[in-house]
């Protein structure tokens, strides 16, 4: 007699523990895909914003005008917020008539702190993908082991064991491993991709901080009226 080995049938005939494992893995997979798409579009938007601001920054526009624009922009980019934090601290220390080196050091510290806050925000939920990629296969394997154990326990009451009696139970159990891999593989691929993109963005922001610090160094010894020049 032909038996139905479709995925839906195997899931419905699996033991309650295996079904709970499958349900948990499917919900985890759904959550990871939500994070993947959210992070994918979010990083793309951040890159575009940083590129637009960097182009405006190197266009020769006055630093004070850039700072006024960045301070009033509710949807500023990551690089723009770092610039604004450094420029704000630089102008504050200049008004207090601090030494040139103190002005530069204060601006650098402010930009470093802002960079760390931005990276913490950008890296949000990326660790979740790493956890899904590392844990899901083992959770699926647990479901498979439990299902096979349950299948063999059920065969203890059967007088004649054939492939037809063993196959359904094992097939039901193996579905848990398949779902675990289905959840893990996209999460691992996405995590590696996002980690690489975030590292590149961090390098870009680090370079901007150093280049902007050089500009501030040239402005540190100038009178307030000359602030904002290149």
Establish if 2 belongs to a structural domain: no
Contact 179, 26 (CB under 8 A): yes
How large a percentage of the chain has pLDDT more than 70? 82
Number of other residues whose CB lies within 10 A of the CB of residue 46: 19
Which pLDDT belongs to residue 1?
45
Res. 163 pLDDT band, cuts 50 70 90: low
- Report residue 171: phi and psi, to 5°: -60, -40
Establish if 19 belongs to a structural domain: yes
Split into its structural domains, the chain has a count of 1
Contact 225, 91 (CB under 8 A): no
Which pLDDT belongs to residue 221?
61
Establish if 142 belongs to a structural domain: yes
Give CA–CA dist 35/27, Å, rounded. Answer: 12
Per the structure, the complete domain to which residue 134 belongs is given by 7-222
Establish if 27 belongs to a structural domain: yes
User: Is residue 20 predicted with pLDDT exceeding 80?
Assistant: yes
> pLDDT per residue over 167-195, tens digit each?
666 777 788 888 899 999 999 999 999 99
Which pLDDT belongs to residue 187?
95
Lowest mean pLDDT among 64-78, 156-170, 201-215: 156-170
């Amino acid at each position: 007699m032909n038996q139905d080995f479709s995925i839906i049938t195997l899931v419905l005939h699996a033991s309650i523990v295996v079904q709970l494992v499958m349900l948990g893995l499917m919900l985890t997979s759904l959550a990871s895909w939500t994070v993947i798409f959210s992070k994918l579009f979010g990083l793309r938007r951040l890159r575009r914003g940083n590129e637009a601001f960097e182009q405006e920054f190197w266009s020769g526009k006055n630093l004070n005008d850039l700072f006024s624009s960045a301070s009033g922009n509710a949807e500023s980019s990551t690089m723009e917020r770092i610039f604004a934090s450094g420029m704000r601290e630089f102008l504050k220390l200049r008004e207090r008539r601090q030494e040139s080196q103190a002005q530069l050091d204060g601006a650098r510290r402010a930009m470093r702190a802002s960079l760390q806050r931005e990276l913490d925000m950008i890296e949000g939920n990326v660790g979740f993908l790493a956890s899904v990629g590392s844990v899901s296969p083992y959770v699926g394997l647990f479901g498979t082991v439990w299902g096979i154990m349950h299948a063999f326990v059920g065969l203890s009451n059967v007088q004649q064991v054939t492939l037809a009696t063993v196959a359904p139970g094992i097939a039901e159990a193996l579905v848990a491993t398949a779902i675990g891999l289905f959840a893990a593989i996209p999460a691992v691929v996405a995590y590696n991709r996002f980690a690489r993109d975030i590292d590149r963005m961090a390098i870009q922001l680090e370079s901007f901080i150093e280049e902007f610090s050089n500009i501030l160094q040239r402005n540190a010894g100038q009178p307030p009226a000359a602030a904002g020049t290149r």
